[in-house]
Amino acid sequence: MRRSFLGAAVLLMAATRLASAEELYSSGYWQAFYSREAGACGMSTIVNQIERSSVMVKHFIGRPGLTVQIFKASWRFPTDRTPIPMTVGFDQVPLLDGNAYGYNPAAGRPTGGMVEFEVRPDLSVNFVETFAGATTFWVRFKEGNERPWSMYLSGSRDVTTVFSHCIVSMSPKGTTQPYSGSGTQSYSEPSRPTPVPQPAATKRDDGAV
C-alpha cells in the first residue's frame, strides 16, 4: 500500500557522517551502524561512488518513527527545507508518497546535498519488514531532472535484524519501539500529503536476499 510519509511531524536533520559511526554488521550492499554522537541506529549503502551518493535509514533513540536520508554531492537547493515531491517503493510496489525536504551541504555533512523524509511511526513496522524482504528499494523524484534511484537490497534481512536489535538495546528501558528486535531539481510549495488508493495486489517473493 502506498501512503503519505510526512504527516505533521517536523523533519529531523542529522549531520552525522557514517565514518564517525560504529559499524555493527555488513552484508551484501548494506551495513548496520550505531552513532553514539547522534544517538541513532542506522542502515546505509553507497549508491554511486563516483557521484558520491548514498542512502541511510536511521532511528534516533527516543524519537518515534524512522528518518531516511539521501545524499548526493552535486545537489543544491534554493534554501534548506526545500520541498521535494517524491515516491518511495520496494520492487514493483509504491509504498510512500509525499514531500521530502532538501538541505544544502553544511558543516559536519561533507556528503553534499541531502534529501530527507520521515517514515511515520504507524508505517515504520511495514517499512522495515518490507525493506528486509524485498529485492530493490527505489526513489522517484516527481520534479527536476534527477533520474529514479534503485538500490539492491542484497543482505538487507540480516542487516535489518542487527538494526532492530540496536534499537532495542540502546533504548532506555520502558520506552516504546517502532518494531521488535526479533529480526525480520524543480521545487514546489509544500503541501499536506494525503493517502492514495492501494494498488492492485501483486505476488512478491518475501524471502531473504
Domain assignment present for residue 193? The answer is no
Express each pLDDT in 6-19 by its tens digit.
Answer: 332 222 333 333 44
Express each pLDDT in 129-150 by its tens digit.
Answer: 999 999 999 999 999 999 999 9
Domain assignment present for residue 186? The answer is no
Q: Round the average pLDDT of the chain to a whole number and report it.
A: 79
Rounded Cα distance, 90 and 209, in Å = 13
Domain range for residue 106?
3-170
Q: What percent of the chain has pLDDT over 70?
A: 70
Report pLDDT for 207: 37
Report pLDDT for 107: 64
Higher model confidence: residue 180 or residue 67? Answer: 67
Write out the DSSP string of 123-162: HHHHHHHHHHH-SEEEEEESSSSPPPEEEE-TTHHHHHHH
Structural domain total, the chain: 1
Domain assignment present for residue 81? The answer is yes
Domain assignment present for residue 191? The answer is no
What region does 155 belong to: left with phi over 0, alpha with psi -120 to 50, or beta? left
Express each pLDDT in 104-131 by its tens digit.
Answer: 988 666 568 999 999 999 999 999 999 9
Query: Residue 128 is placed in which grid cell?
Result: 522495515
Domain assignment present for residue 96? The answer is yes
Rounded Cα distance, 63 and 124, in Å = 12
Report pLDDT for 158: 96
Express each pLDDT in 69-89 by its tens digit.
Answer: 999 999 999 999 999 999 999
Yes or no: say if 17 and 33 are a contact pair by the CB < 8 Å rule.
Answer: no
| Per-residue pLDDT at 58 exceeds 90 | yes
| Per-residue pLDDT at 189 exceeds 80 | no
Query: Residue 144 is placed in which grid cell?
Result: 527536476
Domain assignment present for residue 183? The answer is no
